[in-house]
Structure 1
Amino acid sequence: MTAEHPIPQAEYAKKLRPFLPAEAFQPDPSKLAILLINIAILIVGWAIATYLDRIPVYLCWLYLPLSVVMGNSVIVLLFSSHDLMHGSVVKNYFWQRSICLLGLSMLWMPPTLWQAVHNRVHHNKTNSLADPDRNYLYSQPNTWGKWIQNLFVPSLLVNPVWLIAGMATAWGIYAFRNLTAVLLFNQESVDYVPAAFTVRPKERAAIAGEFLLICAIHLSIWFYLQFDAIELLLGYFLPIGLGYSGIIFYVYTNHMICPMTEVNDPLANSVSIGVPKFFDLLHLNFSYHTEHHIFPALNSDYYPIVQELLRTHYPERFHYLSASEAWHLLRHTPRHYQDARTFTTWSGQISMPCPLQ
């Protein structure tokens, strides 16, 4: 029903906006503290990691809880930078880009590229043919990008070993394919991304400069950790892998089990998932994803109010699944679009209707 009678995002926003307080749309600079605290956690973690070469190897497992905490900080850095870039924390362009350069550095994502791929393209063309974040089409060429996504993403036929490997690395591949597509080609004919997009020459130069700074940050961390295998494994690679796994879980469940839409209808092309409140507190209510797509610049503290409004005004259209339900659907459906409302496998031998119609 939802896909057959789409409602544009602006229409939802216009109807629901009067029910929200004015302060929900005001920048909340206090949330900068969340981003800075998690940068500090990583710095402290790296400082402690430099002592790992001074203890017996069999005791290094004691560092693992800190690796987990650092992994969560990687998640929070993306989500807090995400809110910052949408203008819900500070409006000043200089501070947005400068702080997000630090926040997004662990994600290998230049802020100018994020502004283009996420704010400008993904939010305005969500799950359409032009969305670089969508599933690949069955009809698209079998490029390396499509092959890797088919190998890694949760689906009916994915190998569990590759799925686990993909959870820790898929975000890096996502950043790599978009970064190279823009810096090396910057053409809409690039075929190894789901949907290519272009940026202006000034933006392209900014992306290149920001990427070099990000490379310098990572190289500095490696130097600080003395290129020591144990220090790098526990203090750098493991936290990043855990962080990417948490991020990509949200990314997979946000849109990948939804149909494609020509009209940007967030209640058709997005899913909100139910997670323990502890994770909503840690991750800035990122599970409220449909709500975010209706009001991208809204203070995330107010997403629960928007969800209640959606349940009241659009109960039959709103897609809300528990995290386990969303993951189950991902693991029991193919991952390529045969058409806007049908999934199929790499070979095209198994097809299923999209479970969220």
Structure 2
Amino acid sequence: MHLTHAQQFIHQAQYAKTLRPFLPAAAFAPDPSKLIILLGNLVLLISGFAIASTLSQWNPNLLWLFLPIAIVMGNSVIVLLFSVHALMHGSVIKNPRLTQIISLFALAVWWMPPTLWKAVHNREHHTKTNSNADPDRSYLHNQPNTWGKWIQNQFVPSSEVSPLGLFLGMATAWGVHTFRNLSSVVLFNRPSVEYTPAPFTVSAKERWAIAQEYLVILALHLGVMAFLRFHPLSLLLGYFLPIAIGYAGAMFYIFTNHMLCPMTSVNDPLANTLSLRIPKLFDRLHLNFSYHTEHHIFPGMNSDYYPLVQELLKTHYPERYNLLGAGEAWRLLLQTPRHYQDNQTFTNWAATQSVPCPLNLRELEENKEKAPIC
């Protein structure tokens, strides 16, 4: 029987088994240099807070000079997420205790307890990527119209979102994601919480750890605000603005990772994940996070080697690999509705549209003259 690419899936483990012999052992060795990057950006962020604490003394005509500092701080917020992402996948150091401590401080600016991150990202998202059980997927149209689903409809990139909604959503979507999952496991911890796309549960020990870590994070944020003397100008330019810039920058990547892809019953990273072409400067700054398909095949790999994995994917699976320019991926997000009507089709809130996943359309156009996959 002949199957199209959209119908035939290959499990992540099979890709890893095929490609692993072509990769050097160094690609899977810990890379402590990423820890230097993490700590360096933590220092940059703290230094920015120190400068912001003096803003009340600045000449109002010179406040614009702080904007480049806010941008640098915002980039540090992004790098903290992407570097701790590598750290918690085990590609930086192998000391669990030290990893937990560093992750708590690095993820604090993201309001994300590291124990929750391990549950929602490492355990749930990576093993159930873009499936019905993935807490990071978009909502299904037939799910209840809860506040979580309404927020996604109003603020994530889609053919329905307003410019103001998108602007606000870029800066706040991560906070909604964190609150949605945090409240679900801490307050309820049952598989029937309707306001999350795919609720999951944690152990009693994890639940208690998440609550404790969140209290530490809350204390750290209050400490930063107190350091800024709760001055409105310092809070606006030195706290809220850099965090909003960082959240928006990271969400640009995160929105494109899976939202254009079909849902899959098999964890197939070449079907349910997208990699981006972006300027090399941003790849260097952001630890090759644009190589997202590569990461889903080898989560614990040193990200420096993702370009090599990409070349292998182009060689071994050219007809399956999804690689788009960042501009094209963003344009497609804004041209399609965001709720899944079924695994292969998007629809809008009112279910008046039915739009095939654009990556499926792109694949059919590129492969219409090729022989079907057996």
TM-score (norm 1): 0.99
| 1:273 corresponds to | 276
How many Å separate the matches in 2 of 1:83 and 1:285? Answer: 11
What's the offset of the Cα at 1:157?
1.4
How many Å separate the matches in 2 of 1:327 and 1:227? Answer: 37
How many Å separate the matches in 2 of 1:356 and 1:343? Answer: 12
1:2–1:267 contact (8 Å) kept in structure 2: no
| 1:261 corresponds to | 264
2:153–2:160 contact (8 Å) kept in structure 1: no
How many Å separate the matches in 2 of 1:30 and 1:68? Answer: 24
| 1:105 corresponds to | 108
| 1:244 corresponds to | 247
Say which of 335, 353, 357 aligns to 1:354: 357
Say which of 337, 343, 348 aligns to 1:345: 348
| 1:197 corresponds to | 200
Say which of 74, 79, 102 aligns to 1:76: 79
| 1:294 corresponds to | 297
Deviation sequence 1:287-328 (CA, Å, 0-9, x none): 000000000000000000000000000000000000001001
Give the SS at the match of 1:321. strand
The letter for the 1-side match of 2:39 is L
The letter for the 2-side match of 1:207 is I
How many Å separate the matches in 1 of 2:58 and 2:65? Answer: 10
- Does residue 131 (structure 1) correspond to residue 134 (structure 2)? The answer is yes
1:3–1:261 contact (8 Å) kept in structure 2: no
| 2:363 corresponds to | none
| 2:28 corresponds to | 25
How many Å separate the matches in 1 of 2:196 and 2:345? Answer: 20
Say which of 314, 317, 320 aligns to 2:320: 317
2:338–2:347 contact (8 Å) kept in structure 1: yes
What's the offset of the Cα at 1:351?
1.2
- Does residue 14 (structure 1) correspond to residue 17 (structure 2)? The answer is yes
| 2:232 corresponds to | 229
The letter for the 2-side match of 1:235 is G
Task: After TM superposition, list the pairs within 5 Å mapping 1:177-196 onto structure 2.
Answer: 177-196=180-199
What's the offset of the Cα at 1:234?
0.8
2:160–2:337 contact (8 Å) kept in structure 1: yes
How many Å separate the matches in 1 of 2:331 and 2:235? Answer: 34
How many Å separate the matches in 1 of 2:242 and 2:214? Answer: 21
- Does residue 3 (structure 1) correspond to residue 9 (structure 2)? The answer is no
Unpaired segments of 5 or more residues in structure 1? none
Deviation sequence 1:44-86 (CA, Å, 0-9, x none): 1111111111122232111000000000000000000000000
2:27–2:302 contact (8 Å) kept in structure 1: yes
- Does residue 161 (structure 1) correspond to residue 170 (structure 2)? The answer is no
| 2:46 corresponds to | 43
Residue identity over aligned pairs, in percent, reads: 65
How many Å separate the matches in 2 of 1:42 and 1:284? Answer: 18
Say which of 55, 59, 64 aligns to 1:61: 64
What's the offset of the Cα at 1:30?
1.7
Deviation sequence 1:26-49 (CA, Å, 0-9, x none): 111121000000000011111111
What's the offset of the Cα at 1:2?
2.7
The letter for the 2-side match of 1:210 is E
Give the SS at the match of 1:337. strand
1:291–1:307 contact (8 Å) kept in structure 2: yes
TM-score (norm 2): 0.95
Unpaired segments of 5 or more residues in structure 2? 361-374
4+ long deviations beyond 6 Å: none
How many Å separate the matches in 1 of 2:78 and 2:180? Answer: 20
How many Å separate the matches in 2 of 1:98 and 1:15? Answer: 36
Count residues in correspondence: 357
1:105–1:214 contact (8 Å) kept in structure 2: yes
How many Å separate the matches in 1 of 2:19 and 2:53? Answer: 52
2:75–2:245 contact (8 Å) kept in structure 1: yes
